[in-house]
Amino acid sequence: MIIAFFGFSIFELRTLNGVTSLTAIVSDSLEYINLIEGGTSSPPFSTRILLIYICKILPLAPEVSLLVVNSISILLVILSSTVLLRILNFSNTVIVFSVVAVSTSFAFAYNFNNPYLTDLPAMASMILFLVALKKEKFNLALISCCVSLLFRESIAALVPMFFLFFSFRKSVLASFIAAATYATPKFLIAGGVSTLVLQGEIDLLYIIKSITSYGILWLTCLLGYLSLRKKVGWAFKFELSLLFFSFAGSFLSSLHAADITRMYFLMLPAVCIGTSFLFERVIKNGGIILILVFILFSLILSLFFIPNYFVGSGQFNSFDQYVKSNAVEILILFSFQAITLYKMLAMKNIK
């Protein structure tokens, strides 16, 4: 609740009356608002039916309904992330630091600026799916997977994880039901399932935007997973498979969608887990202060990525313009983060 309150207090919330592309509700959200009001839209907006139906039930204006559902979803994402990390046997201190650190990332903080999409409820139900997998609760995993699919298709990349935790027969059944859940709204509403067409290309701009989604947390995540290399690999099948499938799904969707940075939101649980592995080692060696400094730099850095009430953004019409205008501050803070991370790695027994 503190993270959610803090996020909505410092980042600018888009409105229908916003005058720029950074203060106005974007076209994707307007599609959902139109559907909630009883209008029509093209897929994939029209086939993400669960968010639309929930908002129709609420006795509120469409944009307010979207805000309410997404605000609750933010709380559920944070809560379910802490539950998942607890199941993975991280200490409460590690959990708090990791969740707070990941909450400062562009991929997460963006949702405080634009909480009118399907990303958050889909992520909340997806993390519940991961909790169910880890606890090997088949029915809960299947239900949460299907619910997430009805919000957004992202979780489709994680469906193969059924085969790692349940029998082949149950996994095939789950895959069939998930495929039917995915396809049915598309056939009934759009008349068929469209094929995935990769339109993007990997160039310097793509790399910059991909890095922007988590910044140096990409490195903390990687270092955390590399710390597992001396341990028994099969014991970490959940963590490693999550990393592989979520990155594959994020990468493919980023080549298909116009918004590259947002597509890496699927990586949130994997980044949180990897960062927890690193923070755990740092804390054991007395590096709590270094982690606090690292998180402070991360929070300040997010202000130069996401429009907020401290750094002016009214004159910019795109994130590219906003980030470019803050390039010097971003590079300085990124350097401070890198130095802090180096200090962590320089501690005894961290490498």
Residues 145 and 130: beta-carbon distance below 8 Å: no
* pLDDT, tens digit (0-9, with 9 covering 90-100), for 187-211: 888 777 766 666 667 888 889 899 9
Taking the C-alpha atoms of residue 92 and residue 347, their distance in angstroms, rounded to an integer, is 22
86 within 8 A of 38, measured Cβ to Cβ: no
Host H or E run for residue 131: helix 119-134
Q: Are 292 and 317 in contact (CB under 8 A)?
A: no
Distance set, CA 216 to CA 21, 76, 244 (Å): 27, 25, 19
Q: Would the pLDDT of 295 be above 90?
A: yes
Count other C-beta atoms under 10 Å from residue 236's C-beta. 17
Q: Quick one: pLDDT at residue 201?
A: 76
Contact yes or no for 349/286 (Cβ under 8 A): no
* Higher pLDDT among residues 137 and 234, named by residue: 137
**Which pLDDT belongs to residue 348?**
63
Domain ranges of the chain: 2-345
Indicate whether 18 pLDDT > 90. no
- The whole-chain average pLDDT of the chain stands at 91
10 Å Cβ neighbour count for 37?
11
- Angstrom distance (rounded) from CA 58 to CA 254: 32
Residue 349, exposed/middle/buried by CB under 10 A (0-12, 13-18, 19+)?
exposed
The confidence score (pLDDT) of residue 320 equals: 87
Q: Label residue 351 by pLDDT band (50, 70, 90).
A: low
Indicate if the pLDDT at residue 60 is higher than 80.
Answer: yes
pLDDT for 188: 86
Using one digit for the tens of pLDDT, what is the confidence trace for 151-177? 999 999 999 999 999 999 999 999 999
Provide the pLDDT for residue 19.
Answer: 81
Looking at the DSSP bridge assignments, the partners of residue 15 are 24
What is the rounded average pLDDT of the residues 254-258? 81
Q: For position 61, what pLDDT does the model report?
A: 94
How many residues would you count in the chain?
351
| β-bridge mates for residue 11, sequence order | 308
pLDDT score of 222: 95
For the chain, what percent of residues have pLDDT higher than 70?
Answer: 95
Q: What angle do CA 338, 340, 346 make, to 5 degrees?
A: 100
pLDDT of residue 195: 64
What is the pLDDT averaged over residues 263-278? Answer: 96
Q: Over the stretch 65-118, which tens digit does the pLDDT of each residue have? A: 999 999 999 999 999 999 999 999 999 999 999 999 999 999 999 999 999 999
Residue at token pair 């959990």 = 95
Return the pLDDT at 267: 97
What average pLDDT does this structure show over 47-54?
Answer: 94
DSSP 25: P
Distance (Å) of CA 258 to CA 16, 87, 125, 137, 202: 22, 36, 24, 36, 13
Q: Mean pLDDT throughout 30-36?
A: 93
